[in-house]
Amino acid sequence: MEYAERYRTVLRRFEQLSEELARPENIRNRNLYRTLARERRDLEPAVDAINEWFALDARIRDDRAVVESSGDPELTELARGELEELEPQLEEIGERIKLLLIPSDPDDSRNTVFEIRAGTGGEEAALFAADLARMYRLFAERQGWKVEQLGANTTEKGGYKEIIFLISGEDAFGKLKFESGVHRVQRVPVTESGGRIHTSAVSVAVLPEAEEVDVDIDQKDLKIDVYRSSGPGGQSVNTTDSAVRVTHLPTGLVVTCQDEKSQHKNKAKALKVLRARLLEKARREQEDEIAAARRSMVGSGDRSAKIRTYNFPQGRVTDHRIGLTVHDLGGVLDGDLGGIIEELAVAHREELLAEQTRGSGAGKE
């Protein structure tokens, strides 16, 4: 049976990984051990479902044998009734296994560079950018992740024109990558005296963190400027030239950082952001379809390019990509994003499965 043999292959691989993880030489090799452990962990849900499938398949085969050979009408009728119940369950588990066996993005295990920028809406957009930054920090805390601010451009009322931070932890990029896009807010701004509801927008970009081995930056390709840090309104907040602006000449990418009092630390943070952006640029060039999808999601911060709406008067959050509405705006803004992120991940796996199905169908023709 085609499915059964494919599932046995997965079970054999799972057993092989367990054996390899127990070998002393692999335990000593940290990078190899981490890779093997991740593969085994990724297979665990599929293995559980496959074992469930085999148990159900065995019951179905027993019932079919009873129907075909039993001379007892009552026993035959019981077997037929159980088949009607079990066969749809077997098909449902098979569909679940297909989703679970879709290969994960190799970048999912990376840390992520998170960029939030105010778009349409002026000061209100900047204030909502601060709300989103708080929301993602709280979500990260729930996951046990570490958050490190890499740069920020604040406004006088406490908002952010831009804020960039690094989120470090298990599967940080894999869980957060679907947050890329334009987030729209509908509410009465604190700056509005007439009580009218305004619509503003904020752009979020989620990039996998790049290691030095991933992106080779030639120092000759960098233009580094230093200047004095400034706060809201342009006032100087440092008496030394500690702020750093790094320009990557071949691509024109520019990164600034002034959070630290040390010029050296600001430069290191700026280079971390630059590597992430260069890695993302390479990903876009390699995968044109992903590039087009990302550009359409992130856009320029215009309200019309929204992926999600936070509606304060109605207390709801709506993700427009999957048509999901959650009537718990306060909970979401307090970091309760797990349900939305999981729904997006499931929709993504279903889309990948559909693409695989179309591809295999085209190959057969």
Asked whether residue 228 is assigned to any structural domain, the reply reads yes
Q: Show which of 100, 128, 147 is a domain's final residue.
A: 100
Residue written as token pair 């679970």? 100
Shared-domain flag, residues 331 and 260: yes
Asked whether residue 93 is assigned to any structural domain, the reply reads yes
In whole angstroms, give the CA distance from residue 292 to residue 132. 25
In whole angstroms, give the CA distance from residue 295 to residue 287. 12
Asked whether residue 25 is assigned to any structural domain, the reply reads yes
Shared-domain flag, residues 89 and 160: no
In whole angstroms, give the CA distance from residue 340 to residue 296. 20
Residue 69 half-sphere exposure, CB side, CA atoms within 13 Å?
6
Q: Show which of 100, 121, 137 is a domain's final residue.
A: 100
Shared-domain flag, residues 219 and 74: no
pLDDT attached to residue 202: 95
CATH of the domain at 34: 1.20.58
pLDDT attached to residue 32: 87
Shared-domain flag, residues 268 and 294: yes
Asked whether residue 308 is assigned to any structural domain, the reply reads yes
Q: Count the domains in the chain.
A: 2
Under-50 pLDDT residues of the chain: 233-234, 290-291, 293-304, 362-365
Shared-domain flag, residues 140 and 202: yes
pLDDT attached to residue 213: 53
pLDDT attached to residue 235: 52
Shared-domain flag, residues 63 and 119: no
CATH of the domain at 250: 3.30.70.1660
Q: What are the C-alpha distances in Å from 271 to residues 72, 177, 262, 265?
A: 77, 21, 14, 10
Report which of 256, 302, 308 is spatially closest to residue 277, judged by C-alpha positions.
256
In whole angstroms, give the CA distance from residue 43 to residue 134. 34
Asked whether residue 363 is assigned to any structural domain, the reply reads no
In whole angstroms, give the CA distance from residue 351 to residue 331. 28
Shared-domain flag, residues 70 and 181: no
Report which of 261, 193, 253, 194 is spatially closest to residue 222, judged by C-alpha positions.
253
pLDDT attached to residue 231: 60
Shared-domain flag, residues 112 and 88: no
pLDDT attached to residue 39: 84
Range of the domain at 8: 2-100
Report which of 101, 100, 94, 102 is spatially closest to residue 2, judged by C-alpha positions.
94
Global pTM?
A: 0.66
Asked whether residue 360 is assigned to any structural domain, the reply reads no
Shared-domain flag, residues 56 and 159: no
pLDDT attached to residue 259: 79
pLDDT attached to residue 128: 95
Asked whether residue 59 is assigned to any structural domain, the reply reads yes
Asked whether residue 82 is assigned to any structural domain, the reply reads yes
Shared-domain flag, residues 275 and 328: yes
Shared-domain flag, residues 219 and 292: yes
Q: Show which of 58, 82, 100 is a domain's final residue.
A: 100
Shared-domain flag, residues 186 and 286: yes
The DSSP-derived string for 107-169 is GGGS-EEEEEEE-TTHHHHHHHHHHHHHHHHHHHHHHT-EEEEEEEEE-TTS-EEEEEEEEES
pLDDT attached to residue 132: 97
What's the mean per-residue pLDDT of the chain? 84
Contact 91, 53 (CB under 8 A): no
Three-state secondary structure of 233-249 = HHCECCCCCCEEEEEEC
